[in-house]
Amino acid sequence: MEELLAIIKQQAAVNQQLTNELALLREQVAYLTQKLYGKSSEKVVHQTGQLSLFGEESLPEEESDLPS
């Protein structure tokens, strides 16, 4: 009977360890998914007079800034 209790305690410890590891792995997946697919912090800086690679004459934001 005591052997069974020792096995149960050992299995409970292993179960707790696996639960902790699973939580850590889920946090890592969430973090890496955010880094991969999340909003980028890169800012596009357009210099005056520089041509666009996509054939745009000017950007829409620039057009709204021009006086009428």
The domain limits of the chain are 1-40
> Is a pLDDT exceeding 60 seen at residue 58?
no
Token pair for 53: 């690679």
Query: Model confidence over 16-52: pLDDT tens digits?
Result: 999 999 999 999 999 999 999 988 766 667 777 777 7
Q: What's the one-letter identity of residue 23?
A: A
Residue 3 pLDDT grade (very low, low, confident, very high; cuts 50, 70, 90) = very high
pTM of the model: 0.53
CA distance 2 to 25: 35
- Three-state helix/strand/coil letters over 14-28: HHHHHHHHHHHHHHH
Classify residue 55 by its DSSP letter.
Answer: -
pLDDT tier at 62, thresholds 50, 70, 90: low
Non-local (6+) Cβ contacts of 46 within 8 A are: 59, 62
